Protein backbone atom coordinates (compact mmCIF):
# COMPACT_ATOMS: atom_id res chain seq x y z
CA UNK A 1 0.00 0.00 0.00
CA UNK A 2 1.85 3.00 -1.37
CA UNK A 3 -0.11 5.90 0.08
CA UNK A 4 -0.70 4.28 3.47
CA UNK A 5 3.07 4.01 3.97
CA UNK A 6 3.61 7.64 2.98
CA UNK A 7 0.68 8.73 5.16
CA UNK A 8 2.00 6.79 8.18
CA UNK A 9 5.44 8.34 7.73
CA UNK A 10 3.94 11.84 7.48
CA UNK A 11 1.77 11.20 10.58
CA UNK A 12 4.93 10.18 12.44
CA UNK A 13 6.72 13.32 11.33
CA UNK A 14 3.68 15.47 12.22
CA UNK A 15 3.70 14.17 15.81
CA UNK A 16 7.45 14.63 16.22
CA UNK A 17 8.73 17.49 18.42
CA UNK A 18 10.60 18.82 15.37
CA UNK A 19 7.56 18.59 13.07
CA UNK A 20 7.85 22.20 11.96
CA UNK A 21 11.50 21.66 10.97
CA UNK A 22 10.46 18.63 8.94
CA UNK A 23 7.72 20.70 7.33
CA UNK A 24 10.28 23.34 6.36
CA UNK A 25 12.50 20.70 4.72
CA UNK A 26 9.66 18.92 2.94
CA UNK A 27 8.21 22.23 1.70
CA UNK A 28 11.50 23.45 0.27
CA UNK A 29 12.60 20.20 -1.33
CA UNK A 30 9.17 19.29 -2.72
CA UNK A 31 9.33 22.44 -4.88
CA UNK A 32 12.69 21.35 -6.30
CA UNK A 33 12.81 17.56 -6.56
CA UNK A 34 11.21 15.71 -3.62
CA UNK A 35 8.37 13.43 -4.81
CA UNK A 36 6.19 13.61 -1.67
CA UNK A 37 3.63 16.46 -1.69
CA UNK A 38 3.91 18.90 1.21
CA UNK A 39 0.15 18.69 1.79
CA UNK A 40 0.68 15.15 3.07
CA UNK A 41 2.48 16.69 6.02
CA UNK A 42 0.35 19.82 6.34
CA UNK A 43 -2.88 17.82 6.73
CA UNK A 44 -1.87 15.63 9.69
CA UNK A 45 -0.07 18.52 11.40
CA UNK A 46 -3.22 20.66 11.20
CA UNK A 47 -5.38 17.77 12.41
CA UNK A 48 -3.08 17.19 15.35
CA UNK A 49 -2.70 20.89 16.25
CA UNK A 50 -5.73 22.81 14.91
CA UNK A 51 -4.76 25.93 16.85
CA UNK A 52 -1.58 26.13 14.74
CA UNK A 53 -3.27 25.66 11.35
CA UNK A 54 -2.57 29.20 10.11
CA UNK A 55 1.10 28.98 11.17
CA UNK A 56 1.45 25.55 9.52
CA UNK A 57 0.00 26.87 6.24
CA UNK A 58 2.16 29.99 6.41
CA UNK A 59 5.36 28.00 6.98
CA UNK A 60 4.50 25.57 4.17
CA UNK A 61 3.70 28.44 1.79
CA UNK A 62 6.81 30.46 2.59
CA UNK A 63 9.20 27.52 2.38
CA UNK A 64 7.55 26.11 -0.75
CA UNK A 65 7.93 29.46 -2.50
CA UNK A 66 11.56 29.64 -1.34
CA UNK A 67 12.14 26.15 -2.76
CA UNK A 68 10.35 27.29 -5.91
CA UNK A 69 12.84 30.13 -6.32
CA UNK A 70 15.69 27.60 -6.03
CA UNK A 71 13.94 25.47 -8.67
CA UNK A 72 13.49 28.56 -10.83
CA UNK A 73 17.22 29.31 -10.72
CA UNK A 74 18.09 25.67 -11.42
CA UNK A 75 15.88 25.89 -14.49
CA UNK A 76 17.39 29.22 -15.47
CA UNK A 77 21.05 28.26 -15.09
CA UNK A 78 21.18 24.47 -15.35
CA UNK A 79 18.19 23.12 -17.27
CA UNK A 80 20.50 21.41 -19.77
CA UNK A 81 21.95 19.36 -16.88
CA UNK A 82 18.54 18.62 -15.35
CA UNK A 83 16.59 17.62 -18.47
CA UNK A 84 18.24 14.16 -18.78
CA UNK A 85 17.27 13.43 -15.17
CA UNK A 86 13.67 14.58 -15.78
CA UNK A 87 13.54 12.21 -18.73
CA UNK A 88 15.10 9.35 -16.76
CA UNK A 89 12.63 9.52 -13.85
CA UNK A 90 9.63 9.53 -16.19
CA UNK A 91 8.57 13.17 -15.79
CA UNK A 92 9.42 14.21 -19.36
CA UNK A 93 5.83 14.29 -20.65
CA UNK A 94 4.72 16.26 -17.59
CA UNK A 95 7.64 18.64 -18.09
CA UNK A 96 6.64 19.20 -21.72
CA UNK A 97 3.06 19.82 -20.57
CA UNK A 98 4.35 22.39 -18.07
CA UNK A 99 6.21 24.16 -20.87
CA UNK A 100 3.09 24.22 -23.08
CA UNK A 101 1.08 25.64 -20.20
CA UNK A 102 3.65 28.41 -19.80
CA UNK A 103 3.39 29.27 -23.47
CA UNK A 104 -0.42 29.43 -23.17
CA UNK A 105 -1.03 30.90 -19.72
CA UNK A 106 2.27 32.19 -18.29
CA UNK A 107 1.58 33.60 -14.81
CA UNK A 108 -1.62 31.56 -14.40
CA UNK A 109 0.20 28.30 -15.13
CA UNK A 110 2.23 28.83 -11.95
CA UNK A 111 -0.88 29.73 -9.93
CA UNK A 112 -2.70 26.60 -11.15
CA UNK A 113 0.33 24.39 -10.54
CA UNK A 114 0.78 25.85 -7.07
CA UNK A 115 -2.80 25.03 -6.14
CA UNK A 116 -3.28 21.69 -7.88
CA UNK A 117 -1.77 18.24 -7.28
CA UNK A 118 0.39 18.70 -10.40
CA UNK A 119 4.10 18.44 -9.47
CA UNK A 120 5.01 22.06 -8.67
CA UNK A 121 8.71 21.32 -9.22
CA UNK A 122 8.15 20.97 -12.97
CA UNK A 123 6.73 24.48 -13.10
CA UNK A 124 9.51 25.99 -11.01
CA UNK A 125 12.12 24.50 -13.35
CA UNK A 126 10.10 25.47 -16.44
CA UNK A 127 9.65 29.06 -15.23
CA UNK A 128 13.42 29.46 -15.01
CA UNK A 129 14.14 27.55 -18.22
CA UNK A 130 11.66 29.71 -20.15
CA UNK A 131 12.96 32.95 -18.58
CA UNK A 132 9.72 33.93 -16.87
CA UNK A 133 10.26 37.19 -15.00
CA UNK A 134 11.16 36.38 -11.39
CA UNK A 135 8.75 38.75 -9.60
CA UNK A 136 5.61 37.49 -11.41
CA UNK A 137 6.83 33.94 -10.79
CA UNK A 138 7.15 34.60 -7.04
CA UNK A 139 3.75 36.31 -6.88
CA UNK A 140 2.07 33.45 -8.77
CA UNK A 141 3.79 30.90 -6.53
CA UNK A 142 2.62 32.73 -3.40
CA UNK A 143 -0.98 32.86 -4.64
CA UNK A 144 -1.11 29.22 -5.75
CA UNK A 145 0.78 27.71 -2.82
CA UNK A 146 -1.02 29.82 -0.20
CA UNK A 147 -4.42 28.87 -1.63
CA UNK A 148 -3.44 25.20 -1.59
CA UNK A 149 -1.85 25.02 1.86
CA UNK A 150 -4.36 27.27 3.63
CA UNK A 151 -7.24 25.24 2.17
CA UNK A 152 -5.67 21.95 3.31
CA UNK A 153 -4.56 23.23 6.71
CA UNK A 154 -7.74 25.08 7.65
CA UNK A 155 -10.06 22.34 6.43
CA UNK A 156 -8.09 19.70 8.36
CA UNK A 157 -8.04 21.91 11.47
CA UNK A 158 -11.78 22.42 11.15
CA UNK A 159 -12.39 18.68 10.74
CA UNK A 160 -9.97 18.00 13.58
CA UNK A 161 -8.95 14.63 14.94
CA UNK A 162 -12.35 13.12 14.09
CA UNK A 163 -11.32 13.26 10.40
CA UNK A 164 -8.09 11.24 10.85
CA UNK A 165 -9.75 7.78 10.95
CA UNK A 166 -11.67 8.61 7.77
CA UNK A 167 -8.51 9.77 5.99
CA UNK A 168 -6.63 6.67 7.18
CA UNK A 169 -9.44 4.36 6.00
CA UNK A 170 -9.57 5.88 2.51
CA UNK A 171 -5.95 7.00 2.03
CA UNK A 172 -5.20 4.59 -0.82
CA UNK A 173 -8.36 5.58 -2.67
CA UNK A 174 -7.72 9.30 -2.06
CA UNK A 175 -4.07 9.00 -3.13
CA UNK A 176 -4.84 7.16 -6.37
CA UNK A 177 -7.78 9.45 -7.13
CA UNK A 178 -5.43 12.43 -6.82
CA UNK A 179 -2.87 10.80 -9.14
CA UNK A 180 -5.57 9.98 -11.71
CA UNK A 181 -7.03 13.50 -11.50
CA UNK A 182 -3.57 15.03 -12.01
CA UNK A 183 -2.90 12.70 -14.95
CA UNK A 184 -6.23 13.62 -16.56
CA UNK A 185 -5.60 17.33 -16.08
CA UNK A 186 -2.18 17.02 -17.68
CA UNK A 187 -3.40 14.79 -20.49
CA UNK A 188 -6.36 16.94 -21.49
CA UNK A 189 -4.48 20.27 -21.32
Top mean-pLDDT range of 120-124, 125-129, 134-138, 177-181: 134-138
- What pLDDT, in 10s, does the model give residues 69-103? 999 999 999 999 988 988 888 878 888 888 888 88
CA 17 to chain centre: 23
The percent of residues in the chain predicted with pLDDT above 70, rounded, is: 91
Q: Whole-model pTM?
A: 0.79
More confident residue, 63 or 163: 63
The answer to whether 126 and 75 are in contact (CB under 8 A) is yes
Q: What pLDDT is stored for residue 15 in this prediction?
A: 74
Average pLDDT estimate for 120-144: 91
CA distances from 166 to 77, 130, 156, 163 (A): 44, 42, 12, 5
Q: What pLDDT is stored for residue 133 in this prediction?
A: 93
Amino acid sequence: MLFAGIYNKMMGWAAHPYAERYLIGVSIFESIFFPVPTALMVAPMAMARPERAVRIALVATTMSVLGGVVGYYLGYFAIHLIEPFIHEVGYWDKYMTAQRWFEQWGFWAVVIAGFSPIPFKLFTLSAGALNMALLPFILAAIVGRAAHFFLVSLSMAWAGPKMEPVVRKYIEWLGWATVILAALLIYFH
